[in-house]
Amino acid sequence: MTPNALPGQPHVAYRGDQLFVEDCCLSELAERHGTPLFVYSKAAMLAALAAYQRGFAGRKAQICYAMKANSSLAVLQVFAQAGCGFDIVSGGELQRVLAAGGDPAKVIFSGVGKTRAEMREALAAGIACFNVESEAELEVLSEVAQAAGQKAPVSIRVNPNVDPKTHPYISTGLKGNKFGVAHERTLETYRRAAALPGLRVVGIDCHIGSQITETTPYLDAMDRVLDLVEAIEADGIPIHHIDFGGGLGIAYNGDQPPAADALWAQLLARLDARGFGDRQLMIEPGRSLVGNAGVCLTEVLYLKPGEQKNFCIVDAAMNDLPRPAMYEAFHQIVPLAPQAGTPTTYDVVGPICESGDWIGRERALSVAPGQRLAVLSAGAYCMSMASNYNTRGRAAEVLVDGSQAHLIRSRESAADTFRHEHLI
């Protein structure tokens, strides 16, 4: 970590009057590739992964990157080469894993709405496990597997009704959420799974939400899942692995989530105390591996003073950075080169024709048109959720490795956005 690193961003630091990611000057990258531009630090990703690897040292554990956080091929390649498996939620994500060199035998297929075609594709690829989210899905998966002459390996996702104390849109483990099988129905669901001819029960799964910054929800969920494992195995159905999902938060705005190794020290102590310390474990971190590894560079287009608000209009928008519009999420915004002068309070907004197109509210900035800003903690749920709204091409992406900057996605042209459309 360099002395002038930004809080929560150990690989993003000012050197003199310029902001760097690792050993690459962001102003130079913006000049070369244009804006909006996503820049990711490989070292930051691997450092985040290393915290989990330290936490699981000496344990039987498989880390499966939850690729919905950022599914760019080069990002997947980094984690595949580091030994990670992948948590997928669609057939398209499976194709991305294979294209990036990932091992299908380390793939877990989650999601509430798997189609028959996706099930067939995953069975043919030889994935490790289907995380099944409903009793109806069990029946369909058994039919599909039988037709293929296979037994599908399954883990049932349990909804433990534990409050993760996060945004309601990214809470997944409460009774009112669409995910998983109700805690009270779990034993009956496992009995049905064990009886179906096309299924092979291999594990149990739990995931309670995302951007969790406290330890208590994890401990509560673990206890409820272990209670279920005891009941299921007492009924004669062995559970070979326990999957505790992901959801660990990152520092967006002074958040203080526990470090991954510290969190898992507590969880493993609880696991040991209950006699499950030698069990095969699976986890599925996403945001915590990539969120603080990425920044989005944007150029100031106009400054627009108003009676009630001042607006800093930039060339990045809600199609590039959807989180503020979707969740009222906070991202730090800093200049690439700090400017002199008295800061003015601005709402930082994009060019899209929606009042919801904002990046940051009430930010003190000393800026002028033509200057560039960095939106921090943009490695997760930004590019993977980006769209072409207003026929805006998706941004380019660069992966930094020390002093090397690799273009990993070219900027989309307008022609790219309607390439598959047809005039009548």
Contacts of 70 (CB under 8 A, 6+ apart): 40, 286, 290, 294, 379, 380, 381, 382, 383, 384
* H-run or E-run covering 99: helix 91-99
Rounded to 10 degrees, the C-alpha dihedral 130/131/137/138 comes to: 70
Q: What is the pLDDT of residues 108-149, one digit of tens each?
A: 999 999 999 999 999 999 999 999 999 999 999 999 999 999
Mean pLDDT across the chain: 92
Q: Which of 256, 287, 318 is the last residue of a domain?
A: 287
* Cα separation, 315 vs 351, whole angstroms: 6
Structural domains of the chain, count: 2
DSSP state, residue 383? G
- Residues tagged active-site: 353
Domain boundary among the residues 254, 287, 320 is at 287
pLDDT digits (tens, 9 = 90+) for 74-111: 999 999 999 999 999 999 999 999 999 999 999 999 99
> Same structural domain for residues 255 and 336?
no
Alpha carbons within 13 A on the beta-carbon side of 27: 15
Kindly tell me if the per-residue pLDDT of 321 is higher than 90.
yes
Kindly state whether residues 266 and 297 are assigned to the same domain: no
Please check whether residue 360 lies inside any domain of the structure: yes
Range of the domain at 64: 42-287
Q: Is 423 inside any structural domain?
A: no
Look at residue 36 and tell me if it is in a domain: yes
pLDDT of 174: 44
Please say if the pLDDT value at position 220 is more than 60. yes
Same domain (yes/no): 137, 212: yes
pTM of the model: 0.94
What CATH number did the domain enclosing 149 receive? Answer: 3.20.20.10
**Of all residues in the chain, what percent carry a pLDDT higher than 90?**
81
Residue 170, pLDDT score: 39
**Are 184 and 73 in the same domain?**
yes
pLDDT over threshold 90, residue 254: no
Residue 3's pLDDT is 63
Same domain for 222 and 129: yes
Inform me whether the pLDDT recorded for 329 exceeds 80. yes
How does pLDDT run across 386-399, given as a tens digit for each residue? 999 999 999 999 99
- 264 domain residue, yes or no: yes
CATH code at 385? Answer: 2.40.37.10
Residue 168 has a pLDDT of: 46
Taking only the tens place, the pLDDT of each residue in 340-399 is 789 999 999 999 999 899 999 999 999 999 999 999 999 999 999 999 999 999 999 999
